[in-house]
Amino acid sequence: MKMGITNPFKDQSLSLTKKLLPWTLYVLPPIAMLCLYFKPISFTPSSATEFPHSSPITITSHSSLSFPSAPPPKEKEKAYEKPCDYSNGKWVHDMKGPLYNDTTCGTIKYGRNCITHGRSDTGYLYWRWKPRRCNLPRFEPPTFLQIIRNKHIAFIGDSMARNQLESLLCMIATASTPNLVYQKGEDNKFSRWHFPSHNASISLYWSPFLVQGVEKSETKPYNELYLDHVDEKWGRDIDQMDLIVLSFGHWFLLSAVYYENDSVLGCHYCPSLNHTEIGFYDVLRKALRTTLNSIIDRRGDKGNGIDVIVTTFTPHHFEGEWDKAGACPKIRPYRNKEKKLEGMDAEMRKVEIEEVENAKAKASEFGRFRLKALDVTKLALLRPDGHPGPYMNPFPFVNGVKENVQNDCVHWCLPGPIDSWNEIFLEIMKMWE
Give me the active site residues, please: 159, 408, 411
Positive/negative CA dihedral, 157, 159, 161, 166: positive
d(CA 145, CA 404): 44
